[in-house]
Structure 1
Amino acid sequence: MATQTLRDEPRTGRRDDPAKPRRRRLFPIAFYLMVLPAFVLFFVFHTIPVIQGVYYSFTDSPGYGPSRLVGLRNYIALFTDPRVLHAYWFTFLIAAVATVAVNIVSLAVAVGLNSRIKFRTTLRGVYFIPNILAILVVGYIFNYLFSNSLPALGERLGIDWLSTSLLTKASTAWIGIVILAVWQSAAFNIIIYIAGLQTVPAEVLEASRVDGASAWRQFRSITFPMIAGFFTINMVLSLKGFLQIFDHIVALTGGGPGTDTESVALLIYKGGFQGGEYGYQSANSVVFFIVIVGFSIVQLNVLRRREVSE
């Protein structure tokens, strides 16, 4: 009987440990407990306010006191409000121009820093400094430059168009905003492009150089297609960030002259927290959220299809 029992046991020689199933059950619980604090904080400080904002978008709340439900009245009014429509148009203008400009500048700088130049490691750190500076502080510095330093320089050089501040006219104020936005955002994009350029095999570039390919042909046919994924990331993040532009405008123009340089984010802040339009601007926030998500999804799909085609 003893021999028969030994034969019936598994040949592995290992017996089931009764503690193992219990340990397997405990590990997922431990993981859930570690994630729980972050989930609670996110739910309390993000999800609940979002749900409350959606609710207030259907009310006439001024931000304090009692309010009543008004249905879709706020959403309908948004599409006939000239101030809101102008804010969306201005935001799209800034986002489109700044997204293209920052990626051109960042890619050019990244290619230069990736080449064999002296002090390139130091320069990478220098170029990243704008990304860690407080944009409001930097914005007020740029405000002083645009309003005082450049006009004084223009007067001494006899340049009429430079003798007046860019920020005093609606036709030129947006240029100052784009300059500040590109200067501040280029740092992050440069780092991403440098990371992408380091994935391009040096052997492939050397082989193309031996075959007589010019620097531009190497970039267009080899380098850029191989970093297309990094280009997609930068384009999507840049557009999303510039659509939410706020601090730059507060520091440079405050939305002026008049309301000509008001972005959607600034309009929501002014109307919701200073103008007694909390419910109305909550509806604007919901629409703006949908717009940003929609733009990001469309842009991501288009650029990914482009990556596949290349």
Structure 2
Amino acid sequence: MNKRLTAFYWMTVPAVLLFFIFLTLPALQGFYYSLTNWNGFGHQYHFVGFKNYVNLFQDDNVGNAYWFTFKFAIVVTIAINVLSLLIALGLNAKIRFRNFFRGIYFLPNILSVLIVGYIFNYLFSNVFTIWGQNLGITSLSTNILGSEQLAWVGVVIVAVWQGIAFNTILYLAGLQTIPTSLYEASNLDGAGKWREFWSITFPLIAPFFTINMVLAMKNSLMVFDQIVALTNGGPGRATQSISHLIYTGGFRGGEFAYQSANSVIYFIVIAMISILQLRFLQRREMDN
């Protein structure tokens, strides 16, 4: 038995090494560079301590990026989970061609985020505007991606459209774990669909709801590809997310050390939000 356990431990060594080399080590290097003034080129740099971290809290561009990212993440997380749960409930019902519709709804998840973003960029710029002009709909006649007030809505639409697919599959998996006998008993007691949902369905899929909420929030906070394909952070800096700011400033703006400090703060923020979400939602599961 001991030899078998030892073999299992040795089997984990390659995975641990790969994780350390490609994830842990770069993270440690990023923290190291965040304490310097390195611009990303050459070997000349000096230690500046926590000066970069202090400057982050005084930078309006950083503040605007965090504000946009939080606003975007909250709206997308709520929209994805509400819509995917409604779709899952519909697909779980006894309807014709149910498996076909499941495949259709999952299709966006297998497409490249960048490709989807560029396609929607073309639609917003050329297709929807022509439709709006022909139909006389003013709101569709102009490209919303060119508006500082509405560009973020276009990014939300694309992120929600593609994000719904994965969450729908998880909710479907959760719905299939509920015994049909519970619904039969509720029908005998005269419970309506609304009472059935809140008393049976939602409490029993609570673990799946927790997973979907945490994953949707984490993915939304890390939004990058949609920004690059749709707006590239514009107009101006209206749709610049934290990830996009770190990339453009660090790799193209000569702020490698400064944006390394931003990425450290960014990591801490995402980790704290995910932990708080898990604790709150798991406590709600226990209460149910």
Interval containing the TM-score (normalised by the shorter chain):
over 0.9
What's the secondary structure of 1:69's corresponding residue?
coil
Match of 1:48 in 2: 25
**Distance in 2 (alpha carbons) for counterparts of 1:161 and 1:131:** 29
CA contact (8 A) 2:155 2:226 kept: yes
**Distance in 1 (alpha carbons) for counterparts of 2:120 and 2:196:** 38
Match of 1:36 in 2: 13
Choose from 278, 293, 297 the match for 2:256.
278
1:57 aligns with 2:46: no
Q: Per-residue deviation at 1:29? A: 3.3
- Per-residue CA deviation, residues 227-269 of structure 1 (Å, 9 max, x unaligned), is 1111111001100110000001111000000111000000000
Choose from 173, 179, 197 the match for 1:219.
197
The one-letter code matched in structure 2 to 1:125 is G
Choose from 97, 100, 119 the match for 1:141.
119
Match of 2:245 in 1: 267
Aligned-residue Cα RMSD (Å) equals 1.0
Correspondence 1:1-310 to 2 at 5 A: 24-65=1-42, 66-310=44-288
Structure 1: tracts of 5 or more residues without a match: 1-23
TM superposition score normalised by structure 2: 0.97
Q: Per-residue deviation at 1:216? A: 1.6
What's the secondary structure of 1:171's corresponding residue?
coil
**Distance in 1 (alpha carbons) for counterparts of 2:286 and 2:17:** 39
Q: Which 4+ runs in 1 deviate beyond 4 A?
A: none
The one-letter code matched in structure 1 to 2:59 is D
Q: Per-residue deviation at 1:163? A: 0.3
TM superposition score normalised by structure 1: 0.91
CA contact (8 A) 2:62 2:242 kept: yes
- Per-residue CA deviation, residues 263-289 of structure 1 (Å, 9 max, x unaligned), is 000000000000000000000000000
**Distance in 1 (alpha carbons) for counterparts of 2:9 and 2:195:** 52
The one-letter code matched in structure 2 to 1:206 is E
Q: Per-residue deviation at 1:132? A: 0.8
What's the secondary structure of 1:143's corresponding residue?
helix
Aligned length: 287
Structure 2: tracts of 5 or more residues without a match: none
Q: What percentage of aligned pairs have identical amino acids?
A: 57
CA contact (8 A) 2:231 2:239 kept: yes
- Per-residue CA deviation, residues 206-241 of structure 1 (Å, 9 max, x unaligned), is 111222221122112211111111111100110011
What's the secondary structure of 2:141's corresponding residue?
coil
User: Which has the larger displacement, 188-197 or 40-49?
Assistant: 40-49
- Per-residue CA deviation, residues 165-192 of structure 1 (Å, 9 max, x unaligned), is 1101111111111111011111110011
Greater Rg, structure 1 or structure 2?
Answer: 1
CA contact (8 A) 2:152 2:238 kept: no
What's the secondary structure of 2:286's corresponding residue?
helix
